[in-house]
Structure 1
Amino acid sequence: MSHTLSTSCQKELEIRKSRFIAHAIPVADRDAAMDELRRLRAEHPGATHVCWALLAGGQSGMSDDGEPSGTAGRPILEVLRHHDLDGVLAAVVRYYGGVKLGAGGLVRAYTDAIASALLDAPRVERIAQVSLTVEVSYGDEAKVRRWVEAEAYSLLECVHGMLVKMTVRLPVNAVDDAKRTLVDLTQGKAGFF
């Protein structure tokens, strides 16, 4: 069972005159992570490096952003894996302080920075989401819409034809209950795809 963060976390460390600002940000996918990285770079235009690692539903990645190979991105990624996190972008903004840390020092600095940001980070269980398509009559559409809203699911698509075809995004572990509820709401007339 993997976890994600409920909110973004930040921690700053100073190591031998260099500032390391660690950010742990919950993200849905790689595109959202790249948007966050652009935001961080815009927020810190004078930063020497913005190193990062991402784990998001099978979409992983990392970057040393100019640091010696393997001294930033990989250590940050290993911290995410150690904490069993998914759907998280971990980024460390570094302002160089004039003292070289060496490869071992950089690995320790980046590891310590992101680990300190994750120390008290609020975690929530990450549950996979799936799409469920249901076909209902026009008379049942409003009931289904109210149910989707009450359950805080997402209505992805609604196509009107002979019947109303609605695609709902919900947690994978709620599909069986959802089908039973939709059959009850429509007096057995709901069809699933």
Structure 2
Amino acid sequence: MDPDPLLSRATRYTTIAAGTEAVAELEIKRSRFLAVVRRAGTEAEARALVDELRRGFHDARHHCSAFVLGPDRDLRRSSDDGEPAGTAGLPILEALTLRRTGTDAHGDDVADLSDVAAVVVRWFGGTLLGAGGLVRAYSDAVSRALDGARLVPRQRQRLYRLPASHAEAGRIENELRAAGTTVLGTDYGPEGAELGLALPDDDDAVAAAHARVASLTAGSARLRPVGVDWVDAGAAPR
């Protein structure tokens, strides 16, 4: 379950697209490193990834991991899983937390990746890499995986329902989508239809949506607020 959006200081962050994962592999002095990065909305989901890879690659010596959770990225954990302290889990965590995901309005780099878990599986090749070599290997493995990840912005949005007749629902939905409003879908019942909308968590955007709906329906329909939730860009709440 997502954290309460009303308790977060953030209004958006970046995560990995739902249902996808990022994978990369590298070999250093015959040691093999396999990095898997996947979306995780809870600590249980993050630990489930570790357990899955530990079962799937039980012949490996180490299954080092880290995860970052929450819109404010305030839940962070890492594990060296038998590697020398600070040479595996922390580099994995830093690869996640320092990942550049875009730029802000001032052109400065943004690093806001969250709700992600990363595991690096290592098969020992017989040659010690030293502390510096391990740090670079674990960090590079995750960074390479993230290079191929499909990232999506996740925004805090206000959710609304809009009633409409069967005859008008399609037209209203098309007009709203054309205006850039996120329409989560339309439910059809015996007495009419109801559109689900997600609006930016911003008073001006909500006021503009109210005015647009009033214009489209000649004032006959009004938006009904149903809460606040985190929504992937272009997707329905999960």
Q: What TM-score do you get using the length of structure 2 for normalisation?
A: 0.58
Q: Does 1:65 align with 2:81?
A: yes
**Cα separation, partners in 2 of 1:154 and 1:35, compared to 1, 3 Å:** farther
**Residue type matched to 1:110 in 2?**
Y
Q: Retained in 1: the 8 A contact 2:183–2:196?
A: no
What CA RMSD, in Å, does the superposition of the two structures yield over aligned residues?
A: 4.1
**Residue type matched to 2:155 in 1?**
A
Greater fraction helix: 1
Q: What TM-score do you get using the length of structure 1 for normalisation?
A: 0.68
- Aligned match of 1:37 in 50, 55, 60? 50
**Cα separation, partners in 2 of 1:39 and 1:184, compared to 1, 3 Å:** farther
Q: Does 1:48 align with 2:35?
A: no
Deviations 1:118-157 (A, max 9, x none): 3x324544131334244758x68x949x94xx777557xx
- Aligned match of 2:32 in 10, 14, 19? 19
Runs of at least 5 residues in structure 2 that lack an aligned partner in the other structure: 1-11, 100-110, 188-192, 226-238
Pairwise mapping of residues 61-140 of structure 1 onto structure 2 (< 5 A)? Answer: 61-83=77-99, 84=111, 85-118=113-146, 120-134=147-161, 136=163
- Secondary structure (helix, strand or coil) at the match of 1:50 reads strand
| Aligned twin of 2:233 | none
- Secondary structure (helix, strand or coil) at the match of 2:45 reads helix
Runs of at least 5 residues in structure 1 that lack an aligned partner in the other structure: 159-163
Shift of 1:60: 2.8
Aligned-pair identity (%)? 36
Q: Distance in 2 between matches of 1:8 and 1:104?
A: 28
**Cα separation, partners in 2 of 1:113 and 1:122, compared to 1, 3 Å:** closer
Shift of 1:28: 4.8
Shift of 1:108: 1.7
- Aligned match of 1:9 in 16, 22, 27? 22
